[in-house]
């Protein structure tokens, strides 16, 4: 009788433990199921090109992205405040509903520059870099934008292109009228690449063609790189 009672108690305990383990496993699966992630592309709205880099703020979390791609894991479903910053962009801010599982969400960020300024960037790119490679054209466009970023220069494309120092235009096409040439598809492409954050000049704010100028000052500047017929420097 005692043996049967002991066996019954043992079976009861075993059953309780089994049920507990099943419940624990179910809870673990439910918790795991609730874990979610978001990923996707971050693009420049004017061109559809991926932004080279930037930062995402998701509530209190800060995540960097590169080559236009981001991924944030181990989130809980719910409503989040998201802010995205990228090169030459207006900050993007919105509320974001994240659902359980993997969420594919792409973002398109507007340029901080007007359509007219982007057109001007393409014009100065053609005027200064016509005949150069795509990389060389992008490099010239990037130097204009680097001046916009620098506190040594004006903070708009318009003001940078038309700036005069000691009575002299900074870009010869403004003086000789070539600034008025109509930009081609490839000129826009170079401008768009620079606006998406591509900078093959390593931050240069100036450039010159050594075969076309004997100016001692520009020849004395420390060169960051040479692309095609242009040498690039920071000043």
φ, ψ dihedrals at 124, nearest 5°: -70, -30
pLDDT at 2 over 90: no
Question: Does position 8 have pLDDT exceeding 70, yes or no?
Answer: no
Q: What pLDDT is attached to residue 218?
A: 93
Question: Which of 142, 137, 116, 139 lies closest to 126 in space, CA to CA?
Answer: 137
Reported pTM:
0.84
- State the pLDDT at residue 27: 45
- pLDDT, residue 31, reads 44
pLDDT in tens, 150-186: 999 999 999 999 999 999 999 999 999 999 999 999 9
**Cα-Cα end-to-end distance for the chain:** 98
Ordered structural domains, the chain, with CATH: 36-109 (2.60.40.1120), 115-233 (1.10.10.2520)
Beta partners for 89? 111
Of 167 and 6, the one with more pLDDT:
167
Mean pLDDT of 12-21: 49
């Amino acid at each position: 009788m005692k043996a049967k009672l002991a066996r019954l108690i043992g079976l009861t305990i075993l059953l309780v433990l089994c049920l507990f383990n099943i419940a624990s496993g179910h809870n673990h699966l439910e918790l795991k199921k609730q874990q979610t992630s978001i990923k996707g592309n971050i693009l420049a709205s004017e061109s559809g090109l991926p932004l080279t880099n930037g930062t995402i703020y998701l509530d209190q979390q800060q995540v960097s992205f590169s080559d236009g791609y981001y991924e944030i894991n181990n989130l809980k479903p719910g409503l989040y405040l998201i802010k995205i910053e990228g090169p030459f962009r207006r900050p993007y801010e919105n509320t974001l509903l994240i659902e359980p599982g993997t969420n594919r969400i792409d973002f398109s960020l507007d340029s901080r520059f007007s359509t007219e300024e982007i057109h001007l960037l393409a014009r100065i790119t053609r005027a200064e870099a016509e005949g150069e490679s795509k990389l060389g054209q992008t490099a010239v466009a990037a130097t204009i934008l680097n001046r916009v970023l620098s506190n040594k220069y004006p903070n708009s494309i318009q003001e940078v292109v038309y700036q005069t120092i000691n009575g002299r235009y900074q870009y010869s096409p403004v003086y000789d009228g070539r600034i008025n040439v109509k930009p081609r598809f490839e000129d826009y492409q170079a401008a768009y690449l620079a606006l998406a954050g591509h900078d093959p000049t390593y931050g240069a704010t100036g450039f010159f063609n050594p075969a076309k100028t004997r100016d001692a000052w520009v020849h004395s500047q420390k060169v960051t790189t040479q692309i095609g017929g242009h040498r690039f420097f920071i000043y």
